[in-house]
Amino acid sequence: GIQVEQSPPDLILQEGANSTLRCNFSDSVNNLQWFHQNPWGQLINLFYIPSGTKQNGRLSATTVATERYSLLYISSSQTTDSGVYFCAVEAGTASKLTFGTGTRLQVTL
């Protein structure tokens, strides 16, 4: 099956800093989503981005499908950005999402 790897695994930022999270995948995909899992466990949809670039407030994402990677940019980080960020992909004829290994982000004051 498809492999999804995320980097870095852990990240500590001071409030106000910027960061880039990376997601590499091993095969072509039909769907790619970025999620934020908050400390209460809820998976929050950030972006549906199988290709191209999108922006939503302080967050933006870029997927380069031909090179099999996606990037999530967080600018001016806030403590509420803390949690785990997952990239998830859908490949081939399977409708299921395969999740990456996650990046655990901690934003400190």
Partner 1 sequence: GAGVSQSPRYKVAKRGQDVALRCDPISGHVSLFWYQQALGQGPEFLTYFQNEAQLDKSGLPSDRFFAERPEGSVSTLKIQRTQQEDSAVYLCASSLGPTAYEQYFGPGTRLTVT
Residue 66: phi, psi to the nearest 5? -65, -25
Q: Which of 28, 42, 53, 55 binds partner 1 (CB under 8 A)?
A: 42
In terms of CB distance, is 28 or 76 closer to partner 1?
28
Name the burial class of residue 65, with classes exposed (0-12), middle (13-18) and buried (19+) by CB atoms within 10 angstroms of its CB.
middle
Q: Is 79 an interacting residue with respect to partner 1 (CB under 8 A)? A: no
The residues binding partner 1 (CB under 8 A) are 30-31, 33, 35, 40-43, 45, 48, 50, 86, 88, 90, 93-102
